[in-house]
Structure 1
Amino acid sequence: MAPPATSPDRVESALDRVESWVDDEGIPGASIALVDGSEVVATDGFGRRGPDRPATGDTLYAVGSVTKPVTALATLVLADRKGIDLDDPIADYVPYFADAPGEPVTVGRLLSHTSGMPNDDLAFAADALDGWDEFRSFVAESTDRGLLDDDRFYYYNSGYAVLDRLVTAVSGTEFPTFVRRAVFDPLEMREATFDRSVFTDPSADVMTPYVSAAEEFRDAAGSENPILTSDLLRAPGGLLASVTDLARLVRAHLADDPPLSETVFDRLSTRVATRERLVDGTETAYGHGLESEPFGSDRLVGHGGNTGCSGGYVGFLEDAGVGIAIAHTGVADGKAATRDALAVLVGVDPDAIDPVAAVDAVLDDLVGRYESPGGNHHATVRRDEARLDVAFGGDGGRFEVRALPLDLSGSLYRFTDVDCAESTTDVEWYAGDTPKLVFEGMPFRRVGPRSADGD
């Protein structure tokens, strides 16, 4: 990879963007690292990691599901070394899902959340489960509720806990030990750990668990949060890491000569399923441990996480070759901060690459006053958060519809209205300099801004 090409001014602007996010959102403390090719070009901390203790680039955070790409990477390394095919049934290796209905639950389907197994709220249930034997019973109880008709994405934390058991059984070493040897050591993630005893080490540069901006920092070590205490959740979300170490994970993805097999890294983000689809057609894809989505003409690849008292995001732009690691205390949207910072880093308007902002722009553009061709009917369109409220008037009387967007991906925007009788009515707009509204076959042309009286 070529030497860093990002200008120091852009690096500084990206750091400023994250600092503003921390201030604006009331986040107690956060840390950031920026990556350009094979170099970590900046690390910084904002706010405090605990009472009177500043956050730094080396502060350890519980980063929740940012753990998943690490667990996935360890699983893929194991598969590469031991000849495990991702299409192999997981039951060939560990005693899970042998009696699940339908097609076998495979290693790959657990990695990509496409096993059909339902979300079983493991993050909330783990505290009541006494070890791995009870966890196996917990999983078995939910297998008959699987949704097996297609390969839809269902986020499944228990699937990643089962991958913990796979790694332990096949490697012959405990999951944290294997991850240390197979991932942390070759990627030089020196401080990353699954050892929660660091919370009680007074000399450690570690976050204090924190719930919300309305509360004070906790004095306890997060003992009431199973994500921070339960071994059942270490593979789905138990990683403790600094942004410095997470930046090394990002750097490994961007390297021309990665420290692990290039095939392993490619599998992490190669599309398997659609995780989310916005009404404008923008899709977030999920691979075997990483998600990806459009970022202008580029793609943002990464993963976020949340523990309820902290979280983070790691990501990189495929073509631009730059990346980011964010970690924070409290509950916050690290992915939104990532988009803003990366946009500034590559010289793009952040609003231009925000998919939610794109939907907002479409909705805002349709607001106004409309008239039918003969002038006998009119409509006033107002924005109400994620929907448009349309007040019709004229010869046909007065009535309102609440138009919810269904598809904004083309030049014909489709909405629907659900009335009190639970019937649906299509509401459509044709995009253009002068939008045209069609309701029950009647066309309306926008003639001006919305009126003050709302008729």
Structure 2
Amino acid sequence: MNRRNTFAVLLAGLSSRGLLHAQSASLNMDAMKAAASLLQTQAEKGVIESAVLHVQRGSQVFQQAFGKARSTEAIFLLGSITKPMTAIAVMVLADRGKLRLSDPVMKFIPEFSEGARRKITLEQVLIHTSGLPDQLPENNELRRRHAPLSEFVQATVRTPLLFEPGTQYHYQSMGILLAAEVVERVAKMSLPDFLSKEVFAPLGMKHSALGLGAFKMEETMRVQTEHAAPESGAGSADAKNWDWNSPYWRKLAAPWGGALCSAGDVALFLRSFLHPAGKVLRPETAQLMIQDHTQGLSARRGIGFALGPAGFGKSCSDQSFGHSGSTGMLAWADPKTDLSCVILTSLPGSVSRPLVLQPVSDVVSG
């Protein structure tokens, strides 16, 4: 095992002498070591530059860092794991009576009112049934000239819908963008500041920010952009000044993919839904976010979350919830087993998902 990596099993209130007996009732240590070995092998080959694995059941934690991630507190660009973080901001305002999921988006963004747009609700933009596209046709051009998020919002307000709202499921980052715009207009605060104050601080997420925040670029993990998604430059040298590693993108605070976070903080976020304590949301609101809101459609979605078992571990229950990130991430939790798993890597999901994200999740869940 690489000595630079951090390997820890933390069992609250237990002496080291009693460690082995206690862990056998919760975390399967053979499975944890097998999962870590899958990541370690790819890190030693140089296929994955950096990664962190964090698995938790109850107060018991297994975590390990790999490659260039010098500690388990390494900061990664989460990609679309950002989406449920934006969604929880909407739900905080719902808890305070500032809005309702059934409200039309145009109530808060009046310019979003042409044709069928006036029927699109906050719930629909959070569960991907709005008819908006995932990325704008002009996405790359906007990023190439370092457009602010306000220009993305203006373009989203005008972009054609793909279908009648509410009739289909179609993954749509631009719907999440409009949800973020609603939060900012209602709260009269930037979404990065809102999340920092209302979500990250109450949950003890000390290594998290939407956008670069107080982090320095060199404190965050590089994404292996040679395998980047097309909307993020596809590894082209011409995209270096706007791809996932660029100062522009790290500072943009895109509400659909711009959060920077440690694996432990992602686990804190997930587990606030396993054991809602009212620190951020009322327990019933937290439960609402991980229930199926797309019954009868082609995917199971909660409010901001994907719902399992598909896409998570092979032994996850249909109560499981979480999200992936195209930057090389997968995070899920299962209320049935009180198990959470966070895998953050530098290798984009198109490669890392079949190589390690899915296999590691299968081992952990089993």
Bigger Cα displacement from structure 2, 2-11 vs 178-187: 2-11
2:243 is aligned with what amino acid?
N
Alignment match, 1:162: 178
1:113 and 2:128 are equivalent in the alignment: yes
Does structure 1 retain, via aligned residues, the 8 Å contact 2:195–2:210?
no
Q: Identify the match of residue 304 of structure 1 among 324, 334, 358.
A: 324
Deviation at 1:130, TM superposition (A): 3.5
User: How many residue pairs end up in the alignment?
Assistant: 325
Of all paired residues, the percent bearing the same amino acid is 22
Q: Identify the match of residue 65 of structure 2 among 31, 45, 50.
A: 45
1:225 and 2:239 are equivalent in the alignment: no
Q: 1:49-448, aligned counterparts within 5 Å?
A: 54-101=69-116, 104-121=119-136, 124-127=140-143, 128=145, 130-143=147-160, 145-148=161-164, 150-196=166-212, 200-202=216-218, 204=219, 206-212=220-226, 223-225=241-243, 229-230=248-249, 234-255=254-275, 257=277, 259=279, 260-273=281-294, 284-294=299-309, 295-296=314-315, 298-299=317-318, 300-306=320-326, 310-332=327-349, 337-346=356-365, 348=366
1:26 is aligned with what amino acid?
V
- In structure 1, list runs of 5 or more residues that go unmatched: 49-53, 278-283, 349-455
Change (3 A) 1:150 1:92: closer
Q: Secondary structure at the match of 1:285?
A: coil
TM-score normalized by structure 2? 0.77
Bigger Cα displacement from structure 2, 164-173 vs 118-127: 118-127
1:32-79 superposed Cα distances (whole Å, 9 cap, x missing partner) = 111113x3502211112xxxxx44211111111010011111111111
1:331 is aligned with what amino acid?
P
TM-score normalized by structure 1? 0.63
Does structure 2 retain, via aligned residues, the 8 Å contact 1:90–1:97?
yes
CA distance in 2 between partners of 1:329 and 1:276 (Å): 32
Alignment match, 2:4: none
Alignment match, 2:3: none
CA distance in 1 between partners of 2:275 and 2:287 (Å): 12
Larger Rg: 1
2:57 is aligned with what amino acid?
D
CA distance in 1 between partners of 2:118 and 2:42 (Å): 45
Does structure 2 retain, via aligned residues, the 8 Å contact 1:112–1:289?
yes
Bigger Cα displacement from structure 2, 232-241 vs 17-26: 17-26
Change (3 A) 1:185 1:225: same
CA distance in 2 between partners of 1:76 and 1:197 (Å): 23
Q: Secondary structure at the match of 2:52?
A: strand
Deviation at 1:265, TM superposition (A): 2.0
Deviation at 1:24, TM superposition (A): 7.1
Higher strand share: 1
Change (3 A) 1:317 1:17: farther
Change (3 A) 1:33 1:170: same
CA distance in 2 between partners of 1:297 and 1:201 (Å): 36
- In structure 2, list runs of 5 or more residues that go unmatched: 1-11, 13-21, 229-234
CA distance in 1 between partners of 2:276 and 2:212 (Å): 34
CA distance in 1 between partners of 2:216 and 2:316 (Å): 46
Change (3 A) 1:297 1:341: closer
CA distance in 1 between partners of 2:121 and 2:132 (Å): 12
Does structure 2 retain, via aligned residues, the 8 Å contact 1:68–1:160?
yes
Change (3 A) 1:59 1:222: farther
1:381-440 superposed Cα distances (whole Å, 9 cap, x missing partner) = xxxxxxxxxxxxxxxxxxxxxxxxxxxxxxxxxxxxxxxxxxxxxxxxxxxxxxxxxxxx
CA RMSD of superposed structures (Å): 3.4
